[in-house]
């Protein structure tokens, strides 16, 4: 069972999340903090497997909290849970180092999907955000990179940043998961990145 810390200044919402996950066999809420400045001390004192973090918080914003967490907890999955839907907020959170962005309007199934994905080292974006991000941030970041990726690689990049796994992509493209993984490695090599979070951030920076 993975331990979750919720950092959100809306106590009623945080407790609602806690109640929502009460009967989950995979996740357990081990703490709720309502001030951004309380996140790092809690992480230092308690074992936490996933951090659910709002963008706008008193004391310290979610962006700054993430920036301070990453040097000390580089592998901690961070899932933003927010009502913010603007490009600037989403980009800033990914630039800081979060692994996913889930809207507070999401239902239980979407939240569990988001938790599952970030806990596996994958990126999650709420479906309502993908059109905003792809409209503002077409692939890839520079003309040179555009020409370095094949049409198939561009197609896979699009699916990756929308949160699909290798298996999901293989089913959609009628190829084997191993073929998708090979394409993925080639994409990372061409873009000089090493992780799906870096890929998403690169796309957002456009």
Report how far residue 122's alpha carbon sits from residue 67's, in angstroms, rounded to the nearest whole number: 19
Interval 77-113: pLDDT, tens? 999 999 988 888 888 898 898 999 999 988 889 999 9
How far is it, in rounded angstroms, from Cα 117 to Cα 121? 7
Across residues 109-126, what is the average pLDDT? 88
Q: From CA 57, how far away is CA 206, in angstroms rounded?
A: 27
Q: Output the pTM of the full model.
A: 0.71
| 135 has pLDDT over 80 | no
Fold equal for 2-127 and 137-204: no
Domain ranges for the chain: 2-127, 137-204
SS3 label, residue 136: helix
Spatial distance between the Cα atoms of 201 and 96, rounded to a whole number of angstroms: 9
CA distance 42 to 34: 12
Residue owning tokens 């938790």: 115
Q: Report the pLDDT value the prediction gives residue 144, as an integer from 0 to 100.
A: 57
Split at pLDDT 50, 70, 90, the class of 204 is low
- pLDDT tens sequence across 55-87: 999 999 999 999 999 999 999 999 999 998 888
Place of tokens 């809207």: 103
- Enter the CATH code of domain 137-204: 1.10.10.10
In terms of CATH architecture, what is 2-127? 3-Layer(aba) Sandwich (3.40)
Question: Between 162 and 157, where is the model more confident?
Answer: 157
Q: Looking at residue 134, what is its pLDDT? A: 56
Q: Can you give the pLDDT at residue 139?
A: 43
């Amino acid at each position: 069972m993975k331990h979750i810390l919720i950092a959100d200044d809306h106590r009623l919402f945080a407790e609602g999340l806690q109640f929502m996950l009460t009967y989950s066999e995979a996740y357990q809420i081990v703490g709720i903090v309502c001030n951004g400045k309380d996140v790092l001390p809690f992480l230092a004192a308690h074992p936490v497997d996933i951090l659910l973090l709002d963008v706008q918080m008193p004391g310290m914003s979610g962006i700054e909290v993430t920036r301070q967490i990453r040097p000390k907890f580089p592998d901690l999955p961070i899932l933003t849970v927010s009502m913010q839907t603007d490009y600037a907020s989403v980009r800033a959170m990914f630039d800081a180092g979060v692994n996913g962005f889930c809207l507070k309007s999401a239902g239980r199934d979407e939240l569990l999907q988001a938790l599952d994905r970030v806990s596996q080292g994958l990126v999650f974006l709420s479906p309502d955000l993908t059109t905003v991000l792809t409209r503002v941030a077409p692939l890839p970041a520079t003309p040179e990179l555009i020409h370095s990726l094949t049409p198939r690689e561009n197609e896979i990049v699009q699916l990756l940043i929308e949160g699909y796994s290798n298996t999901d992509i293989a089913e959609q493209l009628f190829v084997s998961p191993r073929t998708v993984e090979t394409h993925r490695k080639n994409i990372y090599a061409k873009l000089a990145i090493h992780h799906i979070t870096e890929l998403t951030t690169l796309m957002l920076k456009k």
